[in-house]
Amino acid sequence: MARNKYDVDEELLTKFKMKDLIRLLKYLKPYKVTMFGTVLLMLSASVANLIGPLLVQDAIDFKIPQGDIKGLVILSGIFVGTLIVNAVCFKFRVILMSQLGNNVVKKIREDIFYKIQKLPFSYYDSRPHGKILVRVVNYVNSLSDLLTNGFINFITDMFTLVCIIVFMLFINVKLTLISMIGLPPLFICIMLIKNIQRKNTQALSMKQSNLNAYIHESICGVKVTQSFAREEQNQGIFHELNKIYRRAWMRFVKANFILWPIIETISIIGIIILYFGGIFWVKGITIGVLIAFTSYISRFWQPISNLGNFYNAMINAMAYLERIFETLDEEVSIENLPGAIPMPEVKGAVEFKNVGFSYEEDKKILDNINFRFQPGSSIALVGPTGAGKSTIINLLSRFYDVQEGEVLIDGINIREVQLESLRKQMGVMLQDTFLFSGTVMSNIKYARPDATDEEAIEAAKTVCAHEFIMNMPNGYQTEINERGTRLSIGERQLISFARALLADPKILILDEATSSIDTRTELALQRGLQGLLVGRTSFIIAHRLSTIKNAHCIMYVDNGSIVERGTHDELMSARGHYYKLYNSQFSVMEAG
């Protein structure tokens, strides 16, 4: 639960393994033809680029002393040709690899989005949504450069490096050996700074995640912030988080740019040793050989520098890749079991047998819950806050799995059927009403996109939403923003109610469905629902007891147990918990 805070670092639970890099490379497998073609282009460009110094050597040592004008023209033509080949190959390489890299990034982002839609409610209960969002957007974007350029550049630079060494050996073996004197120190430096880079990159990702989580939380709670004039205090919190992120960023930059100056320094020292040592130690060097070799030695360190940059990119990308794969590897605890069958057409018999459940190990929410209702029954759940009422309907919808006992619909254990086939036959209106950005019509049709406008309008009329919708600027085509914040809470509930009813469910679940509806609308709504509930099994959670007087069975839930059950009249006659709750509620209303 400590993860569920913006000021707590989200430490990785697993260490990076080489198989994760192999797993990333598998995303490139569908594009192997494109990669092969791109590699050929880059290898051709590398060869063309490396021919230049040999042409210069030939011109200086042979063509110019011999006055061979025709030979110089031919060499010039070949040299221009190598430049053209290099330019054309580079152009097509940029196009192909940009397409490939973005396709892979798109696939990874789709995989994450698909996964987070499947993850259970418990996953979202344990971490800020901003920390989830940063993985789908920022972390995946960080892989773009590696996928677009990194791997191809790595292959090309390795090939170029080998070719340069071959050309250098061809020109002079001793000078080549002298030129490579800086490689052992460079390798030692890389090994020393590797862990520093990874540590700083991980720290940066954690601080970025924290900052993103607080921004997301602040946006969602901006009305509360302004209501309590908390702008300055929140600005102070953001300033501190931003300052911490800046420090992490600066440490990341310093660690990230350590390697480049090391390579540059070693390359310069190598060239100095070549000039002052090679010229004196190696005899018989012509001007053409010296110029050609100098050209190659400068190019020799360029792919090494590129490989160093690729190494940096790999270290940075791995820090984000670990987060991405951690999300993709999250356990989907609520999923189809092996051999799960489609749920047959539901009739509506519901049974809980010895059901026990807890969100945390040491705190039981439900204990030995037992009941059975026939199709078409209406069941009301009442009781104090936190008694377990919403947990019962969450288990029935299989948003969570029971830990003890079983939940049966028409005698079938709901864990043995496919989730989609189960939930498509249930209509659920949760206490936290959520509307999506779009039109009123699209929100009502969310559960049944194939429904006609007439069916959607009829559902809205049934729940008494039609009148206020028609008073909106464009009626059912009025655009509403995310969460429907410009609508009243009651209006949002009515639209959500119409959405649940349009699904034409055999089992209807209403969690505080009328809690924010005015008394006049509630009376009209009750009349409309009487006909709707016929032939459907309905579970209704309500604190407003006037709305559930006609339920076939009222169950009073307290401390995870059903302490009373019966009709309204039976429970009133029993003078128990329900009786006291009912009388206290109406005495308050009369006093009001």
pLDDT score recorded for residue 7: 67
d(CA 164, CA 300): 6
Among 295, 328, 361, the domain-final residue is 328
Q: Is the same domain home to 235 and 365?
A: no
Q: Which residue has the higher pLDDT, 552 or 34?
A: 552
Q: Is the same domain home to 154 and 225?
A: yes
Distances (CA, A) of 75 to 53, 69, 166, 167: 11, 10, 21, 18
Mean of per-residue pLDDT scores for the chain: 81
Distances (CA, A) of 405 to 244, 358, 561: 49, 13, 14
**343 within a domain of the structure (yes/no):** no
Q: Is the same domain home to 114 and 181?
A: yes
Q: Mean pLDDT across the stretch 312-324?
A: 75
Q: Is the same domain home to 324 and 387?
A: no
pLDDT score recorded for residue 85: 85
- Least confident window among 26-35, 170-179, 190-199: 190-199
C-alpha radius of gyration, the chain, whole number: 35
Closest CA to 441 of 426, 428, 458: 458
d(CA 135, CA 321): 9
pLDDT score recorded for residue 284: 63
Per-residue confidence band for 562, with pLDDT thresholds at 50, 70 and 90: very high
Q: Is the same domain home to 423 and 286?
A: no
- Please compute, for residue 588, the number of CA atoms within 13 A of its CA located in the half-sphere on the CB side: 7
CATH number at residue 451: 3.40.50.300
pLDDT score recorded for residue 12: 57
Q: Which residue has the higher pLDDT, 422 or 42?
A: 422
**5 within a domain of the structure (yes/no):** no
Model confidence at 111: pLDDT above 80: yes
Q: Mean pLDDT across the stretch 233-259?
A: 85
Q: Mean pLDDT across the stretch 542-547?
A: 74
CATH number at residue 207: 1.20.1560.10
Q: Mean pLDDT across the stretch 499-504?
A: 83
Q: Is the same domain home to 321 and 359?
A: no
Instruction: Compute the Cα dihedral for 435, 439, 445, 450 and give only its sign.
Output: negative
Among 293, 328, 363, the domain-final residue is 328
**577 within a domain of the structure (yes/no):** yes
Most confident of 208-212, 464-468, 564-568: 564-568
- Least confident window among 6-20, 49-63, 258-272: 6-20
pLDDT score recorded for residue 350: 95
The first and second tokens of residue 518, run together, are 């005015």
pLDDT score recorded for residue 519: 65
Most confident of 159-168, 359-368, 452-461: 452-461
The first and second tokens of residue 408, run together, are 């049966």
| Helix H or strand E encompassing 566 | strand 561-566
- Least confident window among 268-282, 414-428, 451-465, 566-580: 268-282
Listing DSSP states for 121-141 in one string gives: HHHHHTS-HHHHHHIIIIIHH
d(CA 585, CA 588): 5
102 and 144 Cβ atoms separated by less than 8 Å: yes
Could you give the number of structural domains in the chain?
2
**553 within a domain of the structure (yes/no):** yes
- Residues spanned by the domain of 70: 18-328
**338 within a domain of the structure (yes/no):** no
Model confidence at 2: pLDDT above 50: no
Q: Is the same domain home to 389 and 475?
A: yes
518 and 510 Cβ atoms separated by less than 8 Å: no
pLDDT score recorded for residue 467: 87
Tell me the sheet residues that pair with 152: none
Distances (CA, A) of 108 to 101, 301, 314: 11, 34, 17
| pLDDT tens profile 115-156 | 888 888 778 777 777 778 878 877 787 777 677 767 777 777
pLDDT score recorded for residue 1: 38
Q: Could you tell me whether strands 366-373 and 412-413 are parallel, antiparallel, or unpaired per DSSP bridges?
A: unpaired
579 and 571 Cβ atoms separated by less than 8 Å: yes
Percent of the chain with pLDDT over 70: 87
Model confidence at 460: pLDDT above 80: yes
Model confidence at 590: pLDDT above 50: no
Q: How far is CA 56 from the centre of its chain?
A: 54
Per-residue confidence band for 163, with pLDDT thresholds at 50, 70 and 90: confident
Q: How many CB atoms lie within 10 A of CB 147?
A: 24
Listing DSSP states for 494-558 in one string gives: HHHHHHHHHT--SEEEEESTTTTS-HHHHHHHHHHHHHHTTTSEEEEE-SSGGGGTT-SEEEEEE
Q: Is the same domain home to 309 and 376?
A: no
Q: Could you tell me whether strands 404-409 and 350-357 are parallel, antiparallel, or unpaired per DSSP bridges?
A: antiparallel
User: DSSP state, 278?
Assistant: I
pLDDT score recorded for residue 513: 63
Q: Is the same domain home to 292 and 398?
A: no
| pLDDT tens profile 69-109 | 888 888 888 888 888 888 888 788 778 877 888 888 888 88
Model confidence at 355: pLDDT above 90: yes
Listing DSSP states for 2-47 in one string gives: TTSSTTS----SS---HHHHHHHHHTTGGGHHHHHHHHHHHHHHHH
| Length in residues, the chain | 592
**284 within a domain of the structure (yes/no):** yes
Q: Is the same domain home to 237 and 358?
A: no
Q: Is the same domain home to 286 and 379?
A: no
d(CA 570, CA 576): 10
0.95 surpassed by pTM: no
Amino acid sitting at position 472: M
Q: Mean pLDDT across the stretch 479-486?
A: 75
Model confidence at 274: pLDDT above 50: yes
Closest CA to 351 of 396, 403, 385: 396
Please give the order of strands across the beta sheet that includes 561-566. 426-429, 507-511, 537-541, 378-382, 553-558, 561-566
d(CA 488, CA 495): 11
Model confidence at 246: pLDDT above 70: yes
**333 within a domain of the structure (yes/no):** no
d(CA 203, CA 209): 10
Model confidence at 57: pLDDT above 90: no
Amino acid sitting at position 54: L
Q: How far is CA 202 from the centre of its chain?
A: 18
**If 0-12 CB within 10 Å is exposed, 13-18 middle and 19+ buried, where does residue 176 land?**
buried
User: DSSP state, 378?
Assistant: E
Among 276, 296, 328, the domain-final residue is 328
**423 within a domain of the structure (yes/no):** yes
Q: Is the same domain home to 317 and 361?
A: no
